[in-house]
Amino acid sequence: DPAEVRALSELAERVARSAGDLIRATRPARVQVAATKSSDVDPVTAMDLASESHLRALLAEHRPHDGVLGEEHGLEPGTSGLTWVLDPIDGTVNYLYGVPAFAVSVGVVAGDPDPARWTPVAGCVHAVEDSRTYTAGRGQGAFRDGVRLEVNPARPLASSLVGTGFGYLAARRRAQGRVLAELLPRVRDVRRIGSAALDLCRVAEGSLDAHYERGLNPWDLAAGQVIAIEAGAQVSGLRGAPAGVEMSVVGPAATVHELAALLAELGADADD
Ligand code: IPD
C-alpha cells in the first residue's frame, strides 16, 4: 500500500534524523572505544549503544508490533511481518577518528530479516556530519534531501569508480586484499569510504558507479539497498545468488553483471 510505504519512509527519516541530532549534540572531544566485537579492531562506542537505544525507544512508541534488528542489541521479533533494521552508527571507525563519513541507517524490511530473503520496503540513511539525508520507499523513488536520485548510466568496469569495504577479521582481510590487487588494475579507481550504508547511497546518487563487499551485515544493507534499488540499481550476489552476507554487488545492471562475473572468477566470496 503506497500510503503505508510513504508513512514508513517518513518515520525512518524522522527517527534517523533524531538519532543524528543526539550524535551531533553529544560528541565528546575524543571518542573512546567502549568495547570491541568481532575482533580487536571492531569498535563499539558509547554512542553506538545510545543511538540504538534512542532509535528503539522511538520505534516502540510508533510501531509497537514491528520487529527490530539492531547492530548492538540484536533481534526483537514482532508480529506485523515488518522488521526495522538499524545501524546506529555505520562507519564507527570514522566516528571514532572524526572522519565525517558516518551515518545512521534505518531500514524496514518485509519477511525474514535476512538480506538473502527479505523484501526491502523503505529506508533512510542520515549522514550525521553534513546532515545529508537519503530516503526511499519501494516503488516511490529515492531522494537526497528532496532531490530525486538516479544511478549513473552503466559504464564498462574499466571506466567505473568502484567502492568497497573490508571486514574486521584478519583471514577475511587477507582474501579481500588479494581480490583488490586483481581488481584495482581493471577499474577507474577504488574508494574505501568506511560506511557501507553511505556507499550504497553514493551509488544511488552517482558519486560511485558501483559497490561490492563481502561480509556485510543486515544493518549495513537494509536502508541502503532500497535507496539504491529505487535509484535504478541492481543488487546482487555472485553466481546468480541474491545479495547477502556472502557478497553484495550494487550498481547499474550491466556494471553489476561484469563486476559480479570478475568477483566470482577471483573467488571473492570465500575467505583465505
Ligand atoms: C562497517 C562499515 C564499513 C564496512 C564494514 C562494516 P560499522 O560498519 O559499513 O564500511 O566496510 O564491513 O562493518 O561497523 O561501522 O557499523
pLDDT digits (tens, 9 = 90+) for 148-160: 999 999 999 999 9
Choose among 133, 46, 54, 167: nearest CA to 95: 46
pLDDT in tens, 20-67: 999 999 887 777 788 888 888 777 888 889 999 999 999 999 999 999
In ligand 1, which atom is closest to the CA atom of 93? 15
| CATH number of 177's domain | 3.40.190.80
Mean pLDDT of 108-113: 96
Residue 115 backbone phi and psi in degrees, to 5: -55, -30
**Are 129 and 216 within one domain?**
no
Domain of residue 76 covers 2-148
Does one domain contain both 202 and 236? yes
**Residues 167 and 141 occupy one common structural domain:** no
d(Cα 194, Cα 95) in Å, to the nearest integer? 10
Amino acid 41: pLDDT: 76
> By alpha-carbon position, which residue is closest to atom 11 of ligand 1?
165
pTM of the predicted protein model: 0.96
Residue 69 pLDDT greater than 90, yes or no: yes
Contacts of 253 (CB under 8 A, 6+ apart): 154, 234
DSSP-derived 3-state class of residue 206: coil
148, 165, 187 - which closes a domain: 148
Nearest partner of 225 among 207, 242, 239, 241, judged by Cα: 242
> Does 232 share its domain with 113?
no
Provide mean pLDDT across the span 114-120.
Answer: 95
User: Would you say 227 is a known binding-site residue?
Assistant: no
88 falls within a domain: yes
Answer yes or no: is 272 within a domain: no
Final residue of a structural domain among 148, 180, 195 = 148
ipTM of the complex: 0.95
Q: Is 265 annotated as a binding residue?
A: no
Based on the fold, state whether residues 138 and 15 are members of the same structural domain. yes
Last residue of a domain, which of 118, 148, 178?
148
Instruction: Count other Cβ atoms within 10 Å, centred on residue 184.
Output: 11
Residue 105 has pLDDT above 90, yes or no: yes
Task: Tell me: do 24 and 130 sit in the same domain.
Answer: yes
Q: What is the pLDDT of residues 160-189, one digit of tens each?
A: 999 999 999 999 999 999 999 999 999 999
Q: Are residues 190 and 84 in the same domain?
A: no
Total number of domains constituting the chain: 2
Nearest residue by C-alpha to atom 2 in ligand 1? 195
127 and 166 together in one domain = no
Pocket of ligand 1 (CB under 6 A): 71, 87, 90-92, 165-167, 194-196, 213, 215-216, 220
Indicate whether 21 and 127 sit together in one domain. yes
21 is in an annotated binding site: no
97/186 same-domain check: no
271 falls within a domain: no
The CATH number that applies at residue 17 is: 3.30.540.10
Same domain, 127 and 194: no
